[in-house]
Amino acid sequence: MSARPSLVNLEEAEARAAAALGGPTFDFVAAGAGDEVALGRNRAAFRRWCMVPRALRDVSEIDTGTTVLGQPIPFPVLVPPMGLQRIVHPKGECEMARGVAAAGTIMCVSTVSTRSPAEIAATGVERWFQLYLFEDRAITDDLVAQARDAGYGALVLTVDGAVIGRRDRAIRSGFAFGPDIRIPSVGPALGLPEGGDPIALGGMLARSTTWEAVGRLAEAGLPLVVKGILDAEDARLAVEHGAAAVIVSNHGGRQLDAAPATLDVLPAVVEAVDGRAEVLLDGGVRRGTDVLTALALGARAVLVGRPVYWGLAYGGAAGVREVLDVLRAEIVEAMTLLGRRSLAEIGPEMLIKEAR
Amino acid sequence: MSARPSLVNLEEAEARAAAALGGPTFDFVAAGAGDEVALGRNRAAFRRWCMVPRALRDVSEIDTGTTVLGQPIPFPVLVPPMGLQRIVHPKGECEMARGVAAAGTIMCVSTVSTRSPAEIAATGVERWFQLYLFEDRAITDDLVAQARDAGYGALVLTVDGAVIGRRDRAIRSGFAFGPDIRIPSVGPALGLPEGGDPIALGGMLARSTTWEAVGRLAEAGLPLVVKGILDAEDARLAVEHGAAAVIVSNHGGRQLDAAPATLDVLPAVVEAVDGRAEVLLDGGVRRGTDVLTALALGARAVLVGRPVYWGLAYGGAAGVREVLDVLRAEIVEAMTLLGRRSLAEIGPEMLIKEAR
Amino acid sequence: MSARPSLVNLEEAEARAAAALGGPTFDFVAAGAGDEVALGRNRAAFRRWCMVPRALRDVSEIDTGTTVLGQPIPFPVLVPPMGLQRIVHPKGECEMARGVAAAGTIMCVSTVSTRSPAEIAATGVERWFQLYLFEDRAITDDLVAQARDAGYGALVLTVDGAVIGRRDRAIRSGFAFGPDIRIPSVGPALGLPEGGDPIALGGMLARSTTWEAVGRLAEAGLPLVVKGILDAEDARLAVEHGAAAVIVSNHGGRQLDAAPATLDVLPAVVEAVDGRAEVLLDGGVRRGTDVLTALALGARAVLVGRPVYWGLAYGGAAGVREVLDVLRAEIVEAMTLLGRRSLAEIGPEMLIKEAR
Amino acid sequence: MSARPSLVNLEEAEARAAAALGGPTFDFVAAGAGDEVALGRNRAAFRRWCMVPRALRDVSEIDTGTTVLGQPIPFPVLVPPMGLQRIVHPKGECEMARGVAAAGTIMCVSTVSTRSPAEIAATGVERWFQLYLFEDRAITDDLVAQARDAGYGALVLTVDGAVIGRRDRAIRSGFAFGPDIRIPSVGPALGLPEGGDPIALGGMLARSTTWEAVGRLAEAGLPLVVKGILDAEDARLAVEHGAAAVIVSNHGGRQLDAAPATLDVLPAVVEAVDGRAEVLLDGGVRRGTDVLTALALGARAVLVGRPVYWGLAYGGAAGVREVLDVLRAEIVEAMTLLGRRSLAEIGPEMLIKEAR
């Protein structure tokens, strides 16, 4: 790579991506639903918490490591499923995978990837496979088989995608897919035309499927993660239907614009799950201190999406790794300043609400 | 219509109307009273609520239908009384009526319409007739007769118009009525000069009439809707004097600038009415999620004014329909994402206050 | 007057004055202390209240009249003491007096007037006389004698002026007094040089005087008003030392920048005074609805300063009257829309806090 | 000094420094950590408090004097440790010392000073010596010896500097140290290269040292002040390990960006210390009223950093003195307006929370 100065923070990754991409592509990725209220809420929720440092503790060694579903990761950040990565990089999800692997964490591979599950697996990245419930159950079963065959470590079922939310900013910007965008995982099976709009896939998602389908998926032989939970009762249902983890998510503010901030509903979900499954969170995480705030409120780890996508856009695998490395370094710095040596020492007692 | 791209959201309708109209006309419609505090409050009230989606419910069929005063409507949105529509379209209220009819809902026809109640009725739109109490009771009686003769389905009595509020923005903008603005319903009876300022009508409204007059109107043979209620005790009085419905309204922020947001007082009105009448609401509804928020807090339906007026201004009947169709589509999308199949499933349990 | 369009609201008076005056003079009048926090608080406090209209009450006649200290006034607004009025109009306080008289209310004449108490009295305006306690008690006694001789109806003792607050904006703007600024009431007695800085007077105010001095002043034969009260215990002390009224004031945000908004402390003062004296308020009143909000929280009347000063600056006596007439018309409109016929019907039951 | 107009307030000192310094140097000093949330919180916390003046108390004499650690100071403001002062003035800390001495208060001299402890002491300023715990204990012991030999009155141990926080604004601005920046106190002992980046020192700080080390330092023969406390339990530990005072500080928002505002945690620290030590505060103090707010909440005195640094940058010792004199004058004015003659009269009863 050139002599570009190193990345200062994740916000800068967005600025670099904006410069590297055309406006419509940038807007397609950046946009939230509607008036982008949920998008703003996700960020604002983190600002309402303060963390109180403890002084003069031994912080000569900081350990940011944890496990998710029993799998060790060097810091509590995963990469969530994000589709269509060839719109920002010619090698798409394979390039992303190399960056995530370099950073040492887990990549959730989207069904709507432009590279096949097997191609992505071949990079060697630690990987989970995200899928939807399709109206045609054979499609879902085939996706599970692909994931199992390609050595994915878990299934991530997205449950907030009964329809694809309208993202006004992206519509106005006029983004259009290029002819080279294909979805190998399900495109042929669904009969999606080559070079057609992959969003057409949205029309084939199951809208009548209910929790029973989750139960079946949980028995498919891979740990099941349910992504898109905002309601405590839904978290309970997920656990009761076999989920090993839930991801508190409002889809990065891209689905229901009236949705609450994920951090605001996290405590209720944690309480409902009551230790029977792991609770992850995404939405608005941009700083190492954000990661720790989510953990202090009960998340086991978080997922960071758009910043990593921006890394792919401006710098390929190196950009992805740089974004994740900056975030990891911020976690180390914050733990040092907080006087916490390990994530086991991160808890609610270090938080106070911002005074108003 | 030309190849104009389809409307993205209701806010865009305002931008299109601003481009189509001269500044003074736009300001005359857009303005709120005074410092436009009430105008801003109406919008802000919706932002303070979040809606929590439920996952994996059967949303293969979404039914947005309801009834108001026993009359079925395909989605819970009506068009409120708005006067003087020829200032934005040469065919005025008749053009509006064709758009509302195409969208399938009910139009409240203002006494201060520039087309006669009978002309508007002839379009076939489902219609209610709005009126004021005039100092001269014969005028009011004549309006009731016109509404009955022209097949209007209900009377909508405006009770927040003892005087017409000063709208500073409109005054500064210097809007003046053209010579072709007439008010067929009452103009001749009131002796308003042709081409004169129709606002002169404001001086002929009753300021000494009280609830007894409402009782008389309720016996005129048409269901009575009382519009402009903000106080719970007034809601009770309306019901006790025979109202079949009340509309919680601060006149779109155009009357008392210190008035509360309509959404904020809705629960108290719903509680006071206690099921004895239907409760509608207007003021600040711009998104499908706003509609559902009002319903979750107890409204049976809402009225959406200015955006529809903007539709008339930029696109005539087609614009009116487009605005209403976009809003309806947003309701469908929001219900799908919320996991609610029918309006019967919309209730307060899906709301949480935005964290602060 | 010329064909200038009539004044839309009080904010516009400020814009007109800004255009008529040089920047330094405008800033000298407009500035608050320090960072102008108190200035902003005064305004913001009114925005936190909503007023709930009642419908269908008889508002055919609106009576805005009241009394202060037994003296009838046509609407509950007085003009507070404001010094040095020749900086914005060559005839200074005499011109102001003619405008206030035309509007029919009471003018508080400042000790720091550029016209003598007797000259101002000769205009026939209803008048109260404002004074400070000077280190030299004979000066104070002489002011009382001047007020009594010139038929002033009350004494207004300012108690928040132990020093003159620094107004950073005015200092930066570099305002300087012209050579024609004199203070006839006390200038000669204090030995202030002609053409000198009248602010020098600040150094001659009593800083060691306490409530006993108020007791003596209360026995001077004129009703005593104590201006500059923010603390409930001080209000009690004022009453116990003979005050017939107190004015809740932070000097228009021009003294202690950390002071609370006057409206926010009004209820505590009203409770402490407990009907034994009248409670007035100034600070941030710019709308008819503001006047009614203060009355609903227990004020008998309010004082409106800068807007009237701006009226003097842009239009002389006619400007002063226009400002007061606009405010009075706003009170009438608000009462009509609220369904309140007289000030006796203005009470706390019509207020609700703005939702947040 | 030239005919520069006198300083209006501390904010203006920042503007003058910005004009005098290059952008990178200004940013290096001004920047907070990360998104500068903590920096903003410190300021905002003061705005949430109002002070209620009492009228007609004898304020003919105002005494702003107090003591810290038994040492009298003319007003309750000290200058905190700030390193590397030669980056804004060729004479560095010696010039600062002359300004502080002229203002009559105490200067905390940083270990990271560009002039030696002895040189600074030679100016005669009242002085405390700030130090870190170094990994190499002999370095710490040597610093204590230097401080004792040069007549410093207290040791100030910084406990929030286990690592040096990243200040994104400064990184982006590209500040680089000139070749003349040396750290006489520890540079030679640590083997820091002449003209190297003094931030390298950060890597030599102790990260494994705990409260026992504080106990040892407390027995070094000088009163011990522990700086960087935000947690009540840490305040208790500091006292139990011999601290004579604690400074509530988040390092001017330059370390953990998620840290709370110092004013917001002050009351809990004061309660925990319970009179067994003095409690000082820094962070966001820019006005005389801020100083009094902190004292009303239990601080004995405050430290004011950046504004004094700006004074050094724009005006050398005279600038330093001017900044401190302006602040002192503001304290006098505020006490006069509040009706408080001495700091003993400053207490929580004069505070009310800003209404919202």
pLDDT, tens digit (0-9, with 9 covering 90-100), for C295-329: 999 999 999 999 999 999 999 999 999 999 999 99
Closest CA to C346 of C298, C296, C297: C296
Cα(B88)–Cα(B91) distance, integer angstroms = 9
- Segment B208-223 shows an average pLDDT of 92
Is the pLDDT confidence value at A261 over 70? yes
Is the pLDDT score of C9 beyond 70?
yes
Percentage with pLDDT > 70 across chain D: 98
Place A195 in a pLDDT band, splitting at 50, 70 and 90: low
What are B282-334's pLDDT values in tens digits? Answer: 999 999 999 999 999 999 999 999 999 999 999 999 999 999 999 999 999 99
* pLDDT (average), residues C89-104: 98
User: Does residue D177 register a pLDDT over 70?
Assistant: yes
Give the mean pLDDT of chain B. Answer: 95
List chains touching B (3+ CB pairs under 8 A): A, C
Quote the ipTM score: 0.96
> Which residue of chain C comes nearest to D338, CA vs CA?
C256
Partner A, chain D 247-306, Cβ-Cβ below 8 Å: 255-261, 264-265
Residue entry with tokens 């900044």: D323
Between CA D136 and CA D203 the distance in angstroms is 12
Largest CA distance in chain D: 63
**Sorting pLDDT into bands at 50, 70 and 90, what band is D1?**
very low
Query: How confident is the model at residue A2, as a pLDDT?
Result: 47
Alpha-carbon distances of D205 from A59, B182, D35, D218, rounded to whole Å: 11, 84, 25, 19
Say whether the C–B interface has 3 or more Cβ pairs within 8 Å.
Answer: yes
CB half-sphere exposure, B202, CA atoms < 13 A: 16
How many whole angstroms separate alpha carbon A22 and alpha carbon C232?
Answer: 63
Cα C254 to Cα A1: distance, rounded to the nearest angstrom:
59
Q: B168 to chain C: which residues are within 8 Å by CB? A: 8-9
Tokens of B30: 């857009």
The per-residue pLDDT for A196 is: 65
- What pLDDT shows up at residue A90? 96
The pTM is what? 0.96
Query: CB–CB of A337 and D163 under 8 A?
Result: yes
Confidence of residue D250 (pLDDT cuts 50, 70, 90): very high
pLDDT at position D190 over 90: no
> Do B287 and A34 lie within an 8 Å CB cutoff?
yes
User: Out of A107-111, A198-202, C43-47, D222-226, which region has the weakest mean confidence (pLDDT)?
Assistant: A198-202
Q: Which of B47, B131, B264, B297 should we substitute to test contact with C (largest number of C Cβ atoms within 10 Å)?
A: B264
Confidence band of A228 (pLDDT split at 50, 70, 90): very high
Could you say which DSSP state residue D4 is in?
Answer: P
Confidence band, pLDDT 50/70/90 cuts, at residue B74: very high
Structure tokens at A48: 């309402």
Q: Testing the interface with D: which of C37, C140, C224 to mutate, by most D Cβ within 10 A?
A: C37
Contact (CB<8Å) A53/D230 = yes
Query: Which position has the higher pLDDT, A179 or A26?
Result: A26
Chain D residues close to C230, C-beta within 8 Å? 52-53
B224: phi then psi, degrees, rounded to nearest 5: -110, 130
Chain mean position to CA A333? 23
Question: Going by C-beta distance under 8 Å and a sequence separation of 6 or more, which residues neighbour residue D109?
Answer: D81, D93, D97, D117, D120, D127, D128, D129, D130, D152
Contact C260 D52 (CB under 8 A): yes
* Residue C44 near chain B (CB below 8 Å): no
Give the separation between CA D101 and CA D321, rounded to whole angstroms.
8
Q: What distance in Å separates the CA atoms of residue D215 and residue D220, rounded to the nearest whole number?
A: 9
Residue of A46, A134, A135, A230 to mutate, interface with B, max B Cβ within 10 Å: A230
Query: What mean pLDDT do residues A186-195 have?
Result: 80
Poorest-confidence range of A144-148, C244-248, D4-8, D141-145?
D4-8
- Give yes or no for residue A3 having a pLDDT over 80: no
- Of D268, D225, D273, the C-alpha closest to D245 is D225
D2: confidence class by pLDDT, cuts 50, 70, 90: very low
Mean pLDDT computed over A63-85: 98
pLDDT exceeds 60 at position C2: no
* Alpha-carbon distances, residue D155 vs B177, D214, D249, D270 (angstroms): 79, 11, 16, 21
* Secondary structure element (H or E) that encloses residue B173, with its range: helix B168-173
Please report which confidence band the pLDDT of residue D196 belongs to, taking 50, 70 and 90 as the band edges: low
Active site residue C251: yes
Q: Round the average pLDDT of chain D to a whole number and report it.
A: 95
Determine the Cα–Cα distance for residues C111 and C96; give it in Å rounded to an integer: 15
Q: Looking at beta carbons, which residues of chain A come within 8 Å of B49?
A: 258
Nearest to A9 among D168, D208, D256 (CB): D168
**Average confidence (pLDDT) over C280-303:** 98
| pLDDT, tens only, A319-345 | 999 999 999 999 999 999 999 999 999
- C226, C238, C257: residue with CB nearest D289: C257
Residues from chain A contacting residue D210 (CB–CB below 8 Å): 56-58
With a CB cutoff of 8 Å and minimum separation 6, the contacts of C97 are C107, C109, C120, C123, C124, C125, C127
Q: Tally Cβ neighbours within 10 Å of residue A332.
A: 16
Instruction: Please report the pLDDT score of residue A1 as a whole number.
Output: 40
Average pLDDT over residues A34-39: 98
Point out the catalytic residue in the list A41, A89, A251, A287.
A251
The pLDDT of residue B2 is 47
CB-CB under 8 Å, B209 with C337: no
Distance CA(A39)–CA(B341), nearest Å, equals: 26
User: Pick from B159, B211, B260: which is nearest to C52 by CB?
Assistant: B260
Q: Verify whether the Cβ–Cβ distance C337 to B159 is below 8 Å.
A: no
Q: What is the pLDDT of residue A205?
A: 83
